[in-house]
């Protein structure tokens, strides 16, 4: 419980720090994206074959992770072998993280309704839309907009694999998820597909989803333990 509280406090501290940074300097995304932009060729890295290959492969990786996590949970839940049964918990956490964090919150709520234009769409980089800070809902984009990054979110979703594990394993998956998310996010920034804040807030969103999954699981385990204890006490007194 203490390790979970420390992780939650770290998440809250990073969220507050990020909000303060973007409130004080709302245009910080623009100079970061400008590093990858050339007036004569735009976001030139987007023309590279390997970049396009990664771009089109990542969504399929996310779909495979979703199906694989569901299959892993079913296999672990109904298997009799202890080794296979250990698959159930991380697979279930990953499935929930992908469905609720990446699918519902990132894609279903934010990307479809926040209305933030992508870097390639704003006037500073040759587009026609206006730049808006990440904390401000806008109407500069109609669908599948910039805030937050779905590609980076696929990497950040790996954090959920450690959501229901011991602290040491949670830290390993936290590092792995952030590493994968930031790497994919950096590529999307270089492509002009997302701003830095889309990546960072997306990481906090998927991490927060993982923490919420653990909190719900912990509450369920405690309620189940109290129920079993109460039942055992009743049997002992009868």
pLDDT digits (tens, 9 = 90+) for 119-175: 999 999 999 999 999 999 999 999 999 999 999 999 999 999 999 999 999 999 999
* CA distances for 146 relative to 25, 49, 140, 149, 179, angstroms: 19, 23, 10, 6, 21
Which comes out higher in pLDDT, residue 81 or 147? Answer: 147
For residue 41, being part of any structural domain is answered with yes
Q: What is the pLDDT of residue 77?
A: 84
What average pLDDT score do residues 64-82 get? 91
Give the pLDDT score at 232. 64
Segment 4-55, tens digit of pLDDT: 889 999 999 999 999 999 999 999 999 999 999 999 999 999 999 999 999 9
* % the chain with pLDDT above 70: 94
**For the residues 171-199, what does the mean pLDDT come to?**
98
Report the C-alpha gap between 134 and 81 in whole angstroms: 48
**What's the mean pLDDT when you consider all of the chain?**
93
Q: Is residue 234 part of a domain?
A: no
Residue 25 lies in a domain: yes
In a domain, 233, yes or no: no
Domain-located, residue 238: no
Range of the domain at 75: 2-228
Above 80 in pLDDT, residue 194?
A: yes
Beta-carbon neighbour count of residue 236 at 10 Å? 7
What CA–CA distances, in Å, run from 113 to 28, 138, 157, 179, 221?
23, 9, 21, 28, 35
pLDDT at 198: 98
Cβ-based burial of 24 (10 A; exposed 0-12, middle 13-18, buried ≥19): exposed
Does residue 195 belong to any structural domain of this protein? yes
- pLDDT score at 219: 86
Q: How many domains does the chain have?
A: 1
Asked if the structure places residue 31 within a domain, the reply is yes
Is residue 63 in some structural domain?
yes
Res. 231 pLDDT band, cuts 50 70 90 = low
H runs (alpha helix) in the chain: 2-24, 29-34, 49-78, 82-85, 88-96, 112-113, 150-156, 167-191, 196-237
* Range from 74-78, 94-98, 188-192 carrying the lowest mean pLDDT: 74-78
Mean pLDDT of 51-73: 96
Residues 193 and 109: their CA atoms lie apart, in Å, by 18
Please list the residues that pair with 42 across neighbouring strands: 38
């Amino acid at each position: 419980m203490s390790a979970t509280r420390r992780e939650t406090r770290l998440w809250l501290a990073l969220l507050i720090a990020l909000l303060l940074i973007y409130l004080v300097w709302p245009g910080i995304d623009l100079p970061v994206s400008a590093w990858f932009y050339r007036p004569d060729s735009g976001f030139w890295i987007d023309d590279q074959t390997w970049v396009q290959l990664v771009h089109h492969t990542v969504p399929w990786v996310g779909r495979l992770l979703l199906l694989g996590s569901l299959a892993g949970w079913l296999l672990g839940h109904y298997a009799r072998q202890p080794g296979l049964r250990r698959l159930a918990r991380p697979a279930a956490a990953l499935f929930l993280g992908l469905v609720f964090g990446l699918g519902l919150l990132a894609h279903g709520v934010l990307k479809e309704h926040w209305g933030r234009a992508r870097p390639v769409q704003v006037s500073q980089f040759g587009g026609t839309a206006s730049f808006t800070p990440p904390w401000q809902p806008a109407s500069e984009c109609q669908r599948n907009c910039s805030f937050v990054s779905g590609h980076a979110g696929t990497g950040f979703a790996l954090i959920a694999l450690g959501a229901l594990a011991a602290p040491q394993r949670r830290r390993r998956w936290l590092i792995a998820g952030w590493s994968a998310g930031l790497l994919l996010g950096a590529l999307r920034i270089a492509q002009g597909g997302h701003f830095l804040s889309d990546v960072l807030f997306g990481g906090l969103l998927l991490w927060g989803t993982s923490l919420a999954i653990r909190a719900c699981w912990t509450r369920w385990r405690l309620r189940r333990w109290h129920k079993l204890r109460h039942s055992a006490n009743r049997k002992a007194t009868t």
